[in-house]
Amino acid sequence: MRLLISAFLILSACVSNGYAAVRMPSIFSDHMVLQRDKPVPIWGQANPGEEVTVEFANQKKTTLANAAGQWNLTLDPMPAIAEPQLLKIGSVSIQDVLVGDVWLASGQSNMEWEMQMKPDSKADIPNATHPNLRIIEIPKTVALTPQDDVPAVWSPCTPESVASFSAVGYYFGLKLHSELNVPVGIIQSAWGGTRIEPWTSEAGFDEVSELKEFAADVQAKLPGSAAYRRKQEEHLAAVETWSKTARSALENEQAVPALPAQPATFTAGAGTPTALYNAMIHPLVPFAIRGAIWYQGESNHNEGFVYTDKKKALLASWRTAFQQPELPFYFVQIAPFQYGEEDPEILPQFWQAQRECLRIPHTGMAVISDIGEVPDIHPAHKKEVARRLSLWALAKTYGRSDVDPSGPLFASHAIEGNAIRVKFDNASTGLATRDGKPLTHFEIAGRDGLFREGTATIEGDSVIVTSSKFPQPRRVRFAWSKTAIPNLMDKDGLPATAFHTHWPVDPDLGPNLARDCKWISSDKNVWAWDMGLTDGSWATRAPHCFATSNADAFPKHVTIDLKQSQTLNLIRLGTPEIGSTKTVAISLSNDGQNFKEVGRHVFPLGKSEQTSVEFPDVEARHIRLTYLDHHQQEAGGFSNTFAFTTEVEAYRAK
């Protein structure tokens, strides 16, 4: 691919040095595919005022370059053409041009992942000769302002050209090519480890009201924006004032005040908002495309529903730039992965945010929870990922009524005695298990919101969930863990996606009144474990897990200040699998002096556990955990005299 780019740059130089000054962006090259059934923009540069004629497939269009040397025109919509054509633009001749469907494949490393990098895709490379499947890879580059070109060339799909190409992009294109029997072009514009913000334009952030503050911050730091100019002019004025003040101070033998701090300025990098859009998407605009596929989110996975807003911004920017307000956009819900010591619920919350993106018109989500590889953030089965993306394209873009692209999606739940019935959308063919075994990863909880494994059975398009531990169940969740690989699917083999009947808003518990409140420990830990007690995370390591000192004397306690008196009737807390915490008493107080115990719990050794203590309504401002004793054995290599707590939550439950 790099040799082809070098050759194209040499060719471009030769063309621009000829008798005509017509120059084309690199998206126009030999072996390209033009979009069928849509107006096809053609653009480039020439001498100011120069007449430019474009000829292709019995069409001939003429225009004039403007004073800046820019020109553009539009070819009329054309049907698919599988026979090589000549695209003539002034004196420039572009050979072997086809007409079919063009798709943009973008995202981070799982989209970038090359055919040659996994055994199953590598085995398909020798058979990858497909003359009417064309590919182009946009090189990795960054820019702070929108660019008009980026060096890249089209290539027919061959074993040599596809080896370093996106596996998801290749398999997606091949599936469409074989199903539709038309030429297909895939534009790969992806970069491993990148967040969604760099792929979004400045204008895209402006389109989403929930991102108003974020958009303002980006604009204030982005060279070339009006907000950036204002900030810098304000700074220059402050510096001028400082200069006068500083000189006066020197003359009067006084201290010179500090120089005003310069406002922050973005530097171009792969993590800079707008930088990849500017350098790797904008140079393609306004090339006619059929749609886009997107495999990204691992780098944003810890921000929940904020990602939904950022996806709206991304789509707003792309749809505006490509002048297609209904641009089809099909994305992958990222796979289960360990993510170190991170709270196991963070990834499921992100999965919910990704599902919420389905509310954006003309989108679809390929669920891959059944083919994830927990130890590997880059699952190998890219062919199946691409097939599931192609189902969305075939069904929604190409109108194939015989294709159902979605697996079961949680629709509703109803309490039926000691069971909860969960109903699903997209389950008309019926539900089944992938392995023929009983359903896995269903959990059920009562009033206190503490989940335990449930027994789940299929009944038509519903699942019935029960547990002997909860005669009065209130809520259900499914696959609610970063490492969950559940077995529920529809009879077409597509997996169900994770859900939680009571997240993010729990109508039974209401708000956590202890969230982000401060506390005082009687035995302060000095090894960076004296934090995390009320941060909303049940992670089991610092900084999200609290510990006392390892002093021998017990009892020890920690007291949380709720800032004001609150009505409480339920306290939740937990311990990690490390440490030897045993009996914990929970006491409440209004004045911080006189505490009354409302319950206690004995935690097992070497096992992560959450518990709840329920009691009649009490007015209290302070919550005290008293660590009464400890197990005699160590757990996790920590002295048994540490007392650990993963989190404390306080509620007035209904």
Q: What is the CATH number of the domain that holds 34?
A: 3.40.50.1110
387 phi/psi in degrees, rounded to 5: -60, -40
What is the average pLDDT across 29-36?
Answer: 98
Please check whether residues 415 and 399 belong to one and the same domain.
no
Residues 473 and 370 in one domain: no
Indicate if the pLDDT at residue 82 is higher than 90. yes
Q: Is 351 inside a domain boundary?
A: yes
**Interval 35-46 mean pLDDT:** 98
Residue 610 resides in a domain: yes
Distance linking the first and last C-alpha atoms of the chain: 63
Q: Which of 8-17, 55-64, 513-522 has the lowest mean pLDDT?
A: 8-17
What is the DSSP code (8-state) at residue 298? G
Say what the pLDDT of residue 9 is.
46
> Over the chain, what is the mean pLDDT?
95
351 pLDDT exceeds 70? Answer: yes
pLDDT at 182: 98
Q: What is the pLDDT of residue 246?
A: 96
Same domain, 451 and 589: no
542 and 628 fall within a common domain: yes
559 domain-assigned:
yes
In a domain, 3, yes or no: no
Return the pLDDT at 20.
Answer: 52
Note the pLDDT of residue 505. Answer: 83
Rounded distance between C-alpha atoms, residue 208 and residue 309, angstroms: 7
Q: Which of 390, 405, 420 is where one domain is finished?
A: 405
Cβ atoms of 615 and 596 within 8 Å: the answer is: no
List the structure tokens of 312.
Answer: 């709206």
CATH of the domain at 645: 2.60.120.260
Segment 409-468, tens digit of pLDDT: 999 999 999 999 999 999 988 999 999 999 999 999 999 999 999 999 999 999 999 999
Q: Is the pLDDT of residue 4 over 80?
A: no
Distance CA 48, CA 340 (A): 58
Q: How far apart are CA 115 and CA 121, in angstroms?
A: 5
Q: Is residue 19 part of a domain?
A: no
Return the C-alpha torsion angle 317, 318, 320, 326, nearest 10: -120
Cα 29 from Cα 137, distance rounded (Å): 13
331 with 474, same domain?
no
Cα dihedral angle (149, 150, 156, 160), rounded to 10 degrees?
A: 170
Arithmetic mean of pLDDT, 200-215: 96
DSSP 496: P
Strand 130-137 to strand 70-75: parallel, antiparallel, or no bridges (unpaired)?
unpaired
Pair 145, 284 in one domain = yes
Gap between the Cα atoms of 22 and 18, Å rounded: 9
Question: Are the beta carbons of 266 and 223 closer than 8 angstroms?
Answer: yes
pLDDT, one tens digit per residue, over 599-640 is 999 999 999 999 999 999 999 999 999 999 999 999 999 999
pLDDT score recorded for residue 563: 97
Q: Residue 566's closest CA among 617, 516, 507?
A: 617
Task: Show which of 500, 531, 558 is a domain's final residue.
Answer: 500
Residues 289 and 382 in one domain: yes
3-state secondary structure 346-370: HHHHHHHHHHHHHHCCCEEEEECHH
Whether 258 maps to a domain, the answer reads: no
Residues 337 and 481 in one domain: no
pTM of the model: 0.91
Q: What is the pLDDT of residue 196?
A: 98
Residue 447 structure tokens: 């009033």
For residues 493 and 608, state if they share a domain: no
Q: Are residues 398 and 531 in the same domain?
A: no
Do 544 and 484 share a structural domain? no
Strands 329-333 and 363-367, by their bridges, are: parallel
| 583 shares a domain with 542 | yes
Range of the domain at 145: 25-42+52-57+71-209+276-405
Domains: count for the chain: 3
Confidence band of 8 (pLDDT split at 50, 70, 90): very low
Q: What percent of the chain has pLDDT over 90?
A: 94
Residue 349 maps to a domain: yes
Is 531 a domain residue? yes
Helix, strand, or coil here: 330? strand
The last residue of one of the domains, among 383, 405, 427, is: 405
